[in-house]
Amino acid sequence: MSSETFTTAMFLIAAIISAGVLINAVFPVIYTLSSTISSSSHSVDERLSTDVKIVTTYASSGNHTARIWLKNIGTGRVPDASVQRADIFLGSQGDFVRLTRTTELNPETWRYEILEDANNYWDPGETLYVEAMTTKVPGKGEIVYFQFVLPSGLYRSTTFTASD
């Protein structure tokens, strides 16, 4: 009887130690996975709640400038820092360049203003005014290509006709 008790006790101790090892090995993996899933979920939610529409456009071949108005039609607000890191591409179809953001408009640059801004966010319903300058703006009556890309990967592009 004592040998059976001793054997049972040894199996019980081995089972407890095995369970502890298993928990120590599996718990960090579960914790990492839950963190990754939470992060991915937040990223997907942010991308789904962000939507932008190009409202109207204008380009002048005479002074090589373009003016574009975009509306935040999503449910999420876009931080001003994200707008500052956005990419703007402008020019004729097949001959466009990526412009550099600046506060003073010069050749190959762009600047922006969030209209109705009260909190340094591009809130739903607010309009973003973009002014850009590049020698790649084509002549009067030719097609202008414009693309706006947020750091999250959201992009909108359009083509329109240049004026004089």
Residue pointed to by tokens 């006709």: 161
The whole-model pTM stands at 0.74
Alpha-carbon distance values, 29 to 16, 25, 34, 127, 151 (Å)? 20, 7, 9, 44, 30
How many residues are given for the chain? 164
Taking only the tens of pLDDT, the chain with its 164 residues reads 577 887 888 888 888 888 788 777 777 777 776 667 666 665 666 666 889 999 999 999 999 999 999 999 999 999 999 999 999 999 999 999 999 999 999 999 999 999 988 899 999 999 999 999 999 999 999 999 999 999 988 999 999 999 98
Residue 44 confidence (pLDDT): 63
